[in-house]
Structures are given as C-alpha cells and as structure tokens.
C-alpha cells in the first residue's frame, strides 16, 4: 500500500494529539484483510519525558481535586464510553481482528472497572480510632502516588488499559499509557472521551511505542509506579528493571490455562464450553483454555467431541456478523502458530482437528488459522511448553484427579484453572490444591468481577498486587496514619522521656 494513503496515529499528551518527533514508526495492520491500516509513531525518551512532565504538572492540582469532582468526571467518562462502545469495538475489530460482539464484551468488562471506580469516595475511606491514649486520636487515609504508567498488550486494547487507569486516576494519580503498538486506536478513542468528560489536561496521556518507550518509562525518575500486562519474559524484565529503579511494579505475564474434565462431567457441556474458551478471540485471551486434562475418558473420545464442535466454528473477518472467530493479530503470529502445530505430530501427538491452511473467501491475505485440537499431548512437547496464544487446544490425559492436579501444578504459569465435574468434593479438592490465581468450577474463563481483583500465580504475575478491585486501590495509593492531639496550651511539665505508650 502507498505510504501516503495511511495516516500516522499521534500520541496524546497534555490533553490533545501530539506528533511523533523522530522518524521511528510501526505499521498497524487489519488482520482480516492483510492490508496496512495506519502507521503509529514509536515514541522514545523525548515523548515519554514530555508526557511525564505533563502528567507531573497535572498531578499537582488533580491530587487536590475533591472526591466529589473526581466522581462526577468518572461518571461522565462512563457515559461516554457506553455511548461510544460500538465505535471502540469496531476499531478493535479492525486492528486486533476479533469479532465486534467479542470486542463489545471487552469494552463492557472494562466499563465494570469504571463502575467500580465511580465509588472512589467509599473506596478511599480511612479508619478512625478515638481516644487511643489520653486526648489522642488515630486515623488513616490513603494518598496517591504521583505519575503512574500502564504498559498493555495487544489482545485487549480497551479492557486491559481500563483495568488500570480508571482506578489510578480516581485515586488522584495522573497516568501515562503505553498501549500495544499493534492496535493503538482504542486508547486514542478513550483519551478523547476523557477530554470530553472534563478530565483536566495532562491527567491522562498516551505514548505509543515499543521497547524504547517502555525503557524510558522504567527509567524515568518521576514515574512512581508501573502496571504491566503482557508476555512472561517482558513481565519479568519490567518487574526487575522497574523495582531496581525504585518503582512500585505489578507485572502480569502469560498463561497456559488448564481445564480438568472429570469422567462424571456432562461431556457435551464441557466440550461446548471448552471450544468457546479455547477458540473465542482466536485463542488470544490471557484466560483462554489452552490445555484440557481429560481424566478417565476412553481413548480419544473427548478430543473428538471438542473437535466436532470446533469444526463448525465460522471463521472470518471480525466485522462480518456471521463470524464466530476472527484472524490472529499478525502474519508473524500465524507463522509461529502453524509452526508449533507442525511440531506436535513430529513429537508424538495426534492432530484431531487441523486449522492450518484455512482460507476465508474474499480474505485470502488475512492472517487466519482455524480451530485446532491436538490430542495425546505430553508436557515435554513444544505445544505444551510454549504459550501458543492462538486457536489451539492441547488435550492431555490423566488417570485420576490427583494426577491431573499434579500435572497442572507442575506448569510454571498459574493464571486461571478450571474443572468440569458434577462432584462437589472433587471441585473443592481442586479449588484448594490447584496453584492458580483464578479458579473456575464448570466456568472455563473465570475472570473476576471488578469488585474483586485479577491476577495469577507463578510466572503469570510478578509483584505483590493483583489488578483492579480492592488490590488496585491499594496499588495506586499509599497509607498515611495520623496520630493527633489538641492539647491545652499550658504545659503541665509531665512529658515522659520513654517511648510513648497509651495512658
């Protein structure tokens, strides 16, 4: 495509669009057509510093803005996102590839965090203890941190940023978002909606970019905290480098989410749920089920049942209302996924349903991979060890619940884990023994509501705090405890010199 035919998406700094200073830029594709949609500037230290300075200046007054005023702006933002949900979803479909209803679902799940943040006046209430000693009261409150940054992945270009900034801003911080360079438009639409909602300039900023922008945020002395969501190697790097620079960091990484299917489960129900959880959004969800551990089923029957369901999934462009599963995000992602599928039979697994070579008429240049089910997978195989992040379900076999739980627990990731069973005691044993942060019981994608918090164990989270919910409020604030006395003016000469204790 001609360079002149596509626009360059600008940054958003100090309340409006801001052009890229250097020549560095990256192509943004429409994965359904394989055609370039836009360029996006790749910011570096200069753009990051400009955004952090704007955020730093805005923090001075935003952190002093009353809770009532902050709440009004949050409600106004909420209404605007609701009214523009379709537009945001269509932009996501065009850059990410997921279907419009799926994208609407992610906007809705992000909005739930805005709903939660609208209750900030209650969430920031402190404690008060009267008369802890003679004439002395004790109370606590939480103060914002300053400029905080969010670095987000391509797979939820609206929802994951919305996990972060509504609460960060509600708590009185200012925010710099570094979204994925692969689908940057949703964050620009959200920035515009903040401005329309009356958020003061500089409280919310967007700097596009890649490693250079991330490194600049990690090193910037005025950035107090970093929230990161992405793959495990980058999450580990961001956590190590950010904490070494003295910042508070929460870094959510990749996943290999397992579902155990017990012999007493309703096979048709479990197969239907797993097909949806494995192939929705082309398997590019951090909570997608990518490994089914089947206990006690004869031979390959379960893999065949899931394959039968998955074979009928309609693959096509995300804008087509008949489509159930769109393309993967880039040509490189498709090549990586098909290479990994190819390694499975070489290493001893059996492909029950093969999505390689799927062609969508009229979209021959799109980045499509069809639903793929691989049976007889073992933990040593590449398809199990690597996070494929595509529409591929691995089926493993175990002889008992205990063996299945041990298999799940031996995996380094620990984001979500699910069980399908009719047995309460088996489900209880699973929920207590499995090493994962989010557990589903006959629910394959157990993403907690916004008034809980989201986070995994093991290599799926580096740092101490989960995102959004009560842990999000704790992450974006720090505690102050005030001990106060209003004495009579005349000193009575009886002030002790030992360490103060209650009298």
Tell me how far, at minimum, the Cβ of 215 lies from ligand NAD, in Å: 7
Cβ neighbourhood burial of 361 (10 Å; 0-12, 13-18, 19+):
exposed
- What does the DSSP 8-state code read for residue 152? -
Stretch that binds ligand NAD, among 153-161, 194-202, 312-320, 372-380 (CB under 6 A): 153-161
Tell me how far, at minimum, the Cβ of 463 lies from ligand NAD, in Å: 12
Site map 407..446 versus ligand NAD, x via CB under 6 A: --------x-------------------------------
324 binding ligand NAD? (CB under 6 A): no
- What does the DSSP 8-state code read for residue 172? T
User: Is 77 in contact with 110 (CB distance < 8 Å)?
Assistant: no
Stretch that binds ligand NAD, among 7-15, 76-84, 150-158, 262-270 (CB under 6 A): 150-158
Tell me how far, at minimum, the Cβ of 86 lies from ligand NAD, in Å: 23
According to CB under 6 A, which one of 79, 90, 137, 210 is a site residue for ligand NAD?
210
**What is the rounded CA–CA span in Å between residue 216 and residue 177?**
13
Contacts with 152 (C-beta within 8 Å, 6 or more apart), sequence order: 160, 161, 164, 177, 178, 179, 180, 187, 228, 229, 230
DSSP 432-499: HH---SEEEES-S--PPPTTS-B--EETTEESS--BSHHHHHHHTEEEEEEEEE---SS--S----SP
Stretch that binds ligand NAD, among 80-88, 152-160, 186-194, 362-370 (CB under 6 A): 152-160
Total residues contacting ligand NAD by CB under 6 A comes to: 27
Stretch that binds ligand NAD, among 6-14, 225-233, 339-347, 357-365 (CB under 6 A): 225-233
Catalytic residue among 18, 118, 171, 286: 286
Tell me how far, at minimum, the Cβ of 283 lies from ligand NAD, in Å: 10
> Is 286 tagged catalytic?
yes
Q: Is the dihedral of CA 427, 430, 436, 442 positive or negative?
A: negative
157 binding ligand NAD? (CB under 6 A): no
Q: CB nearer to ligand NAD: give 265 or 445.
A: 445
Tell me how far, at minimum, the Cβ of 363 lies from ligand NAD, in Å: 22
Site map 102..131 versus ligand NAD, x via CB under 6 A: ------------------------------
How many whole angstroms from its chain centre is CA 371?
Answer: 23
Contacts with 417 (C-beta within 8 Å, 6 or more apart), sequence order: 257, 258, 259, 260, 408, 430, 434, 436, 438, 439, 440
234 binding ligand NAD? (CB under 6 A): yes
How many whole angstroms from its chain centre is CA 478?
Answer: 23
Give the distance between the most distant pair of CA atoms in the chain.
92
Locate the DSSP E strands across 96-182: 128-133, 136-144, 147-151, 174-178
180 binding ligand NAD? (CB under 6 A): yes
Interacting residue ranges for ligand NAD, rule: CB under 6 A: 151-156, 160, 178, 180-181, 210-211, 214, 229-231, 234, 252-255, 286, 387, 389, 415, 456, 460
Residues annotated as catalytic are: 286
């Amino acid at each position: 495509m001609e360079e002149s035919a596509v626009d360059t998406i600008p940054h958003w700094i100090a309340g409006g669009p801001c052009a890229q200073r250097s020549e560095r830029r990256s192509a943004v594709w429409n994965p359904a057509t394989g055609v370039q949609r836009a360029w996006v500037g790749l910011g570096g230290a200069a753009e990051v510093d400009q955004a952090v300075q704007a955020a730093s200046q805005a923090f001075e007054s935003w952190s002093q803005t009353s809770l009532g005023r902050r709440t009004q702006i949050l409600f106004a933002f909420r209404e605007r996102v609701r009214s523009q949900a379709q537009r945001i979803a269509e932009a996501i479909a065009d850059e990410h590839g997921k279907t419009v209803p799926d994208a609407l679902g992610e906007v809705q799940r992000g909005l739930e965090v805005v709903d939660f943040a609208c209750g900030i006046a209650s969430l920031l209430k402190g404690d008060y203890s009267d008369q802890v000693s003679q004439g002395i009261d004790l109370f606590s409150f939480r103060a914002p941190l300053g400029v905080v940054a969010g670095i987000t992945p391509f797979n939820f270009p609206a929802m994951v940023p919305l996990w972060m900034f509504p609460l960060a801003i509600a708590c009185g911080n200012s925010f710099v978002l570094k979204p994925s360079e692969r689908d940057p438009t949703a964050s620009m639409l959200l920035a515009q909606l903040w401005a329309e909602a009356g958020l003061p300039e500089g409280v919310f900023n967007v700097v596009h970019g890649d490693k250079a922008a991330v490194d600049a945020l990690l090193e910037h002395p005025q950035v107090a905290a970093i929230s990161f969501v992405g793959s495990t190697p980058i999450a580990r790097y961001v956590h190590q480098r950010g904490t070494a620079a003295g910042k508070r960091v929460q870094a959510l990484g990749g996943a290999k989410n397992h579902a155990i299917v017990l012999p007493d489960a309703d096979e048709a129900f479990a197969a239907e749920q797993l097909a949806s959880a494995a192939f929705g959004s082309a398997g590019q969800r951090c909570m997608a089920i990518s490994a089914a551990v089947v206990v006690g089923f004869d031979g390959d029957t379960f893999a065949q049942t899931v394959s039968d369901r998955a074979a009928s999934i309609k693959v096509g462009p995300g804008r087509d209302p008949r489509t159930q599963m769109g393309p993967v995000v880039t040509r490189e992602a498709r090549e990586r996924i098909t290479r990994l599928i190819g390694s499975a039979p070489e290493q001893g697994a059996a492909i029950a349903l093969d999505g390689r070579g799927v062609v969508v008429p009229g979209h021959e240049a799109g980045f499509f991979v069809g639903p793929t089910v691989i049976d007889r997978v073992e933990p040593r195989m590449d398809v199990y060890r690597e996070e494929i992040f595509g529409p591929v379900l691995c089926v493993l076999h175990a002889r008992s619940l205990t063996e299945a739980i041990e298999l799940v627990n031996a995996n380094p990731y620990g984001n979500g884990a699910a069980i399908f069973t009719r047995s309460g005691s088996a489900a209880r044993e699973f929920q207590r023994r499995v090493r994962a942060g989010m557990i589903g019981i006959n629910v394959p994608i157990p993403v907690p509501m916004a008034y809980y918090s989201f986070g995994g164990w093991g290599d799926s989270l580096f740092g101490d705090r989960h995102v959004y919910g009560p842990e999000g409020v704790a992450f974006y604030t720090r505690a102050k405890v005030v001990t106060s006395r209003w004495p009579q003016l005349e000193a009575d000469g009886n002030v002790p010199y030992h360490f103060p204790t209650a009298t």
